[in-house]
Amino acid sequence: MAAVAAKPHVLVACAVLLLAVGCQASPFWPLEIGYYHDKCPQAEAVVKGVMEKAISQNPGNGAAMIRMLFHDCFVEGCDASVLLDPTPFSPTPEKLSPPNDPTLRGFELIDAIKDALEAACPGVVSCADIVAFAARDASCILSRGKVNFQMPSGRRDGTFSNASEPLKFLVPPTSNLSDLVASFVIKGLNTEDLVVLSGAHTIGRSHCSSFVSDRLNTPSDINGGLAAFLRGQCPADATPGGNDPTVMQDVVTPNKLDRQYYKNVLSHTVLFTSDAALMTSAETARMVVENAKIPGWWEDKFEKAMVKMAGIEVKTGYQGQIRKNCRAINHY
């Protein structure tokens, strides 16, 4: 079935046989592994090469790509809408929305990957697939190969982006468990996906404003030693865009994608209310314990959850476009 996407003559045959066999040419078809095998065989290698260099220079580049996939897919689906810059016709795109601005980063890295791919195969590889490949490669590199999976591709790029949309679908780190679960369910993901994908908080940095008010300035279950350390790093009035330093999300293995996050949840050494919330139900607490204590358990589930997330509301077939510049839609 996936092969139909690469063979237009099959669609013509479907149209001819429509009345006889009920075959329909559809504007949509599934993602597939190796989608660029014929169109741009070096595509995935190009992405990986840029990612390896970027992460060797700064491991935070890998964390940025994994977070970008989440922020893209949960808003308008995985269509690279988060990459679009403001224009006179669309002055407030997603990247200017509070969940993304000023904390979401990695846009220049996506530009570098796109430039390399345009040099190799002009107009072939979508920005949406670049984000998905980059997040996949970041996961593999930062886990030292323990998270290693194939990423289906064939996504097309969206042409709509509005700053109001992330506010609808990206719940803040102050959220309780029911709000977190609801935000995942509406995107076709379940409670286990929430717990598993939260494990990405074992890498990267957080702005103090994301946790100071509800974790340090008010009573919480955060470990006293960590709280004291954080108060030394973060101003009590930290605000987005103001005096707002960053701290490592996982002080034990800050640059390694591993199951340490779940050990941190158990020891109350996590930054966010949304992290601590995983211990507020018997179901999610059990998952936390399993991920913390069973070697390889979380890595296997993370691979599957990443592919599942990267398939949210994708545009394929005749939908969307292949942007020449990831920051702007094509105008023909």
Amino acid in the structure at residue 32? E
CA–CA separation, 241 vs 284, rounded Å? 34
User: Which of 9, 71, 268, 331 is labelled catalytic?
Assistant: 71
DSSP 3-state of 328:
strand
94 is in an annotated binding site: yes
| Cα–Cα separations (whole angstroms), residue 123 to 82, 108, 128, 235, 323 | 19, 19, 13, 47, 7
* Residue 81 marked in a binding site: yes
258 is in an annotated binding site: yes
**Is residue 267 marked as binding?**
no
Instruction: Check the annotation: does 221 bind a ligand.
Output: no
Active site (annotated) includes residue 9: no
Partnered with residue 328 across adjacent β-strands are 325
User: Does 193 belong to an annotated binding site?
Assistant: no
Ligand-binding annotation for 37, yes or no, is no
Does the annotation flag 300 for ligand binding? no
Phi, psi of 206 (to 5 degrees): -125, 145
43-57 and 107-120 helices, crossing angle to 10° = 150
Instruction: Round to whole Å and give the CA distance between 294 and 148.
Output: 18
Residue 253 assigned ligand-binding role: yes
Residue labelled with tokens 């066999």 = 21
Which positions make up the binding site?
72, 75, 77, 79, 81, 94, 201-202, 250, 253, 258
Which positions make up the binding site for heme b?
201
Which positions make up the binding site for Ca(2+)?
72, 75, 77, 79, 81, 94, 202, 250, 253, 258
Catalytic residues: 71
